[in-house]
Amino acid sequence: MGDASDIFAVCHVNDVIKRRAVGFVLARRNEAGKTAPFPIVVTREAGRVYAYLNRCPHQGARLDFEPRQFLDPGGKRLLCGKHGAEFEISTGLCLEGPCKGARLERVEAFVDGDEVCISGVDLVEEDGLDREESDETPEVAVLPE
């Protein structure tokens, strides 16, 4: 079981290439105390890493409506592939689209040595998250140590 103060390594820093974004499906405890998928997107800009819940505030759709496509063609903004909302990477603020002014839910992320880590999330061990889903999910699941 995870503790909200725990730190979890998500990936190697080189897995998140500059001007790219990578999706991960973790497992966390929901409000009912059950294990639920926790999809996040991790990206880099100006030497910093940023992580957000992989859910557009407009209708809750995943940003990568097309598998593994998180950024606009120029690699400057996170993009919701379903409705075209564009988000500033450093703040998660929607700059264009149907949810203009709303924000992506930030996940605290930082680099520790050569690992991208997150904290402040009650992660738990994976429990059936490898089941078939109606939409394609990233192939990586991270478990707390």
Contacts of 102-106 with C-beta under 8 Å, sequence gap 24+, read: 102/57, 102/58, 103/57, 104/52, 104/53, 104/55, 104/56, 104/57, 104/63, 104/78, 105/52, 105/53, 105/55, 105/57, 106/50, 106/51, 106/52
Position with higher pLDDT, 127 vs 27: 27
pLDDT of residue 126: 62
pLDDT at 144: 46
Residue at 128 is within a domain: no
113 lies in a domain? yes
112 vs 138, more confident? 112
Q: Which CATH number covers residue 17?
A: 2.102.10.10
94 found inside a domain = yes
Question: What is the number of domains present in the chain?
Answer: 1
Q: How confident is the model at residue 110 (pLDDT cuts 50, 70, 90)?
A: very high
* 66 inside domain: yes
| Predicted pLDDT of residue 137 | 46
Range of the domain at 23: 7-119
